[in-house]
Amino acid sequence: MTNPAQSESDVDASTLVGAAPLESILCTEELLRRPSRPIDHEKENSALLALVRALADSPHTILQTLADKVLEVLQADSAGLSLLTKDEKRFYWAAISGEWRPHVGGGTPRNFGPCGDVLDRNIPMLFTHWERRYPYLSSATPLATEGLLVPFHVKGKAVGTIWVISHGSRRKFDAEDLRLLESMGRFASGAYQTVQSIEELKVEIAAREKAEAAVREMASGLQAKIRRLLDSNIIGIFIWVGDGGIIDANNTFLSIVGYSRRDLVSGGLNWRKLTAPEWRAVDEQRVHELQVTGTAQPYEKEYLHRSGDRVPVLVGAAKFEGAADEGVAFVVDLTDRKRAEAAAREIERQYQEVRQELAHANRLATMGQLSASIAHEINQPIGASITSANAALAWLRAQPPDVKEVGQALDLIVESGLRAEKVIDRIRALIKKAPPRMENVQINEAISEVLALAHGEIANKGVSVETQLAERLPALKGDRVQLQQVLLNLLVNATEAMSGMREGARELVISTAKSNSDHVLVTVQDTGPGLAPDGLDRLFEAFYTTKPNGLGMGLSICRSIVEAHQGRLWATANKPQGAVFQFMLPMPHGENGNTRAEFGRVKPRP
């Protein structure tokens, strides 16, 4: 195999001579008309979970994982990712999987290539035999019969393309392939951006800690060190007089406010005039403190730079001994720190977005495990509707028709339809992606709804469920879907743990109660094999799992959800065997609940 990479200068007029027009090699519209293969959510979720695992590594690991999973899920011959170089003059192939793997590191020009055409229009494109238009790609063997490309975005900007290739006629791409490619690309973009941002944040935090350490040192013993600081230019220093005039200053201070030593010597600098108007009231408070105690503790404000910009600073001052209206002030430029704080807030926002994506992926995976149970819950009212409809037809055909019986049968159909609608609404709420929504949540109702969805799965595993739900518990403030996700994870985990047992009772007990600390306590306990003592401390760590095929994100996500609700989640051993998972959530102030319990039991299926 040869490398098709070309520099910008290689693509000249001779390259374009005889090149086929772009429209002659595009077949994107044909792709949308082709029969589409069915959606395989299990394979798609598996690919997304692989990208989640790659979060613990470098950005390149995420890109290569994306290429590998695109190749696998789309059943293509080659797959990869092209990224723009810093000068944006060409694309380099950052990650490749499949038959084109030896070409990794190669690339195509920005101004004349399939990747550039996709970014110019910012839409997906399907090419066929692109070497007819881009002759240099004829050296990339085996040749591409079809190539499907979609834009790859980072922070809203298209910085590359994700592509899959078929090297023969056995594989033609369809609309489902396009959906999968765009879905995996969006997820990988968020993960890639998060890892990059975390690395940048580490540098910013280190700079911020260094600056804060310098400020703490300067605030300690300021008067004794002021002359040495003035000469050393470590921080901004100026000498002031009572009317706000600045009679001396070091170069650092002059640089902070953008003035020259000539401006200083001419007597034109006054710290009161340099202060932004809205900060002058705070200044007056510090002046009063200075007059009473002789020092003004460091405080934040803004100076007006000569250019008109605002400069955030930390300022402290002290009077000279024996002088009523003269003293020294130190100034630390906080511009870098403020930028680091803004970057930290942005990283936190991005982290919350990724955490929500992971929680959503976890819900989808859990709902996938309950597919049979969910189908059973929907089929029951549907079956009842069909039975009632047949009965209604029979009563209508009777001579004479029995209108009363027909009415009763139609009432049953409506009732069954409403039951099915409620089940579907609960499923839709759990699988849709939506921002957190704080509302009043009746925890007992939330538990009952989750049990209804998981009923079939629990019973099929031979597990009996007992509920001990305290009456008249106050409504909790929280996100209903997130809290139900915690409950669903704990129920499914307990059911899986007990399903592998050959002997012994398989019992699951879910209870609620009001604790002594104005919290609601939810307990899920099972009679399974229990928890290993050496792994108890790591149980809620991300990526720690005891399951052969587990990812180790479920319990970590559960704990983060509970803690986001100002609660606590923990696990202990059950006696004589099994495990107990408990979480506490705060009640609204002034609420009291009656703790008399209601009991119920779900029987396992034979």
Residue with tokens 């994100």: 553
**Count of C-beta atoms within a 10 Å radius of residue 149:** 25
8 Å CB contact between 466 and 505: no
- Residue 381 pLDDT > 90, yes or no? no
* pLDDT at position 595: 41
- Residue 9 pLDDT > 50, yes or no? no
Per-domain residue ranges of the chain: 8-198, 221-333, 370-433, 437-606
Look at residue 249 and give its three-state secondary structure. Answer: strand
Question: How far apart, in Å, are the Cα atoms of 224 and each of 330, 332, 354, 368?
Answer: 13, 18, 50, 69
Residues 6 or more apart whose CB falls under 8 angstroms from that of 252 comprise 233, 234, 235, 236, 237, 331
Residue-wise pLDDT for 15-45, tens only, equals: 555 688 999 999 998 888 888 888 877 777 7
Look at residue 112 and give its three-state secondary structure. Answer: coil
Span between the terminal Cα atoms of the chain, in Å: 61
8 Å CB contact between 416 and 385: yes
Residue-wise pLDDT for 530-557, tens only, equals: 887 776 667 776 554 555 554 445 677 7
8 Å CB contact between 486 and 508: no
- Residue 251 pLDDT > 90, yes or no? no
Residue-wise pLDDT for 194-237, tens only, equals: 655 655 655 665 666 676 666 566 545 544 555 565 555 678 88
Q: How far apart are CA 553 and CA 462, in angstroms?
A: 26
8 Å CB contact between 54 and 191: yes
- Residue 572 pLDDT > 80, yes or no? yes
The CATH classification number of 437-606 equals 3.30.565.10
The tally of CA atoms less than 13 A away on the side-chain side of residue 91 is: 30
Omega before 606 within 30 of 0, i.e. cis: no
Pick the CATH number of 221-333 from 1.10.3720.10, 3.30.450.20, 3.40.50.1010, 3.90.280.10: 3.30.450.20
* pLDDT at position 556: 77
Q: Which of 191-200, 215-224, 262-271, 400-409 has the lowest mean pLDDT?
A: 215-224
- Residue 111 pLDDT > 80, yes or no? yes
* pLDDT at position 39: 80
* pLDDT at position 603: 42
**Looking at the domain covering 8-198, what would its CATH class be?**
alpha beta
Please state, rounded to an integer, the average pLDDT across all residues of the chain.
Answer: 77
Strand order from edge to edge, sheet including 146-154: 107-109, 90-98, 78-84, 157-166, 146-154, 125-128
* 344 pLDDT tier (thresholds 50, 70, 90): confident
* 431 pLDDT tier (thresholds 50, 70, 90): low
Helical (H) or strand (E) element with 439: strand 439-441
In this structure, the dihedral spanned by the alpha carbons of residues 345, 348, 350 and 352, taken in order and rounded to 10 degrees, is -140
Q: How far apart are CA 357 and CA 343, in angstroms?
A: 21
Q: How far apart are CA 381 and CA 377, in angstroms?
A: 8
- Residue 401 pLDDT > 70, yes or no? yes
Residues 6 or more apart whose CB falls under 8 angstroms from that of 494 comprise 463, 508, 524, 525, 526, 528, 579, 581
- Residue 369 pLDDT > 70, yes or no? no
- φ/ψ of residue 362, rounded to 5: -65, -40
Residues 6 or more apart whose CB falls under 8 angstroms from that of 23 comprise none
In this structure, the dihedral spanned by the alpha carbons of residues 203, 205, 206 and 210, taken in order and rounded to 10 degrees, is 140
Would strands 507-514 and 146-154 be described as parallel, antiparallel, or unpaired?
A: unpaired
For the four alpha carbons of 340, 344, 345 and 350, in that order, the dihedral sign comes to: positive
Answer yes or no: same fold for 221-333 and 437-606.
no
Angle at 144 between CA 142 and CA 147, to 5 degrees: 145
- Residue 318: exposure state from Cβ atoms within 10 A (0-12, 13-18, ≥19): middle
